[in-house]
Amino acid sequence: MNRPYTFINIATTADGKIDTFERKGAAISSIQDKNRVDELRAGADAVLVGGKTLLEENPRLTVKSEALREGRVRRGLPQNPIKVGIVTSADIHPDSDFLNIGPARTVIFTTNRTSMEQVYFLRERGVEVFIHESERVDLLLALDKLYELGARRVMVEGGGTLNFELLKLGLVDELMIYIAPMIFGGEQAPTLAAGLGFTRNDAIALKLENIEAQADGGVLLYYKLQATL
């Protein structure tokens, strides 16, 4: 199978949380970091999120800067990268920003737990829906399909369950972590990688490529993935 170069970009607090225990999409990134993320989106062929992020945080997944959108057009690209959702049951609200904010090619990978009525609705809205006849979306097949659709560089914006599954399957090439100077705490607050977790022997090894300190006191870490420790 072919697959795109895939990188995870995520913001965490100093104690490793990507949201508060309320799970309402709490702001973590600084203004400087938000601009960096916008540049990453502008440089990607597709932006990918998991089900909880898609259904609970109502992401737009578009490039905010007009200058960056114009830059894509000058390079012969659409204004925005492909918006991609990985969701077991694609119960996306008709008014969601994912469906309505664009223009952008929109793709959903889902399972037969999504009703055919919902599939028809999404397709009528111009969404390309790919149904996997399995309990969960097959991430290998999904990335292979994105490659087939022309995506060579895919940006993953969470959440923790999707991150974990991609890491577990060895489908991540690079990890960028903005660490904000704040602490959320909370045993139920989500972290960068959720799922079942790894044993120490199976831990995912990272190779530090670069560190950047930001003016707000945050730190940006760039890692490449390598063999298990």
List the domains of the chain with CATH numbers: 5-226 (3.40.430.10)
Q: In which band, very low, low, confident or very high, does the pLDDT at 207 lie, cut at 50, 70 and 90?
A: very high
229 pLDDT band (50/70/90 cuts)? very low
Residue 173 has pLDDT above 70, yes or no: yes
As a whole number, mean pLDDT of residues 82-111 equals: 96
The better pLDDT of the pair 227, 132 is held by 132
Per-residue tokens: 36: 């960096």
Mean pLDDT value of segment 33-43: 97
List own/partner pairs for 126-135 with CB under 8 A and 24 or more apart. 127/99, 129/90, 135/88, 135/111
| Helix 66-74 / helix 31-42 crossing angle, nearest 10 deg | 20
pLDDT at 1: 72
Least confident residue range of 68-77, 146-155, 199-208: 199-208
Element (H, E) at 219: strand 219-226
Q: How far apart are CA 146 and CA 32, in angstroms?
A: 30
**CB 215: neighbour CB atoms within 10 A?**
8
As a whole number of Å, the end-to-end CA separation of the chain is: 26
Counts of helices then strands in the chain (DSSP H, E): 7, 9
- Tokens of residue 62, six digits: 């578009």
Counting residues of the chain whose pLDDT is more than 70, the rounded percentage is: 99
pLDDT above 90: residue 108: yes
Q: Name the more confident of 17 and 25.
A: 17
CB under 8 A, 24+ apart: contacts of 61-65 = 61/98, 61/104, 61/157, 62/101, 62/102, 62/104, 63/38, 64/38, 65/35, 65/38, 65/39
Q: What mean pLDDT comes out for the span 125-147?
A: 96
Average pLDDT over residues 110-125: 96
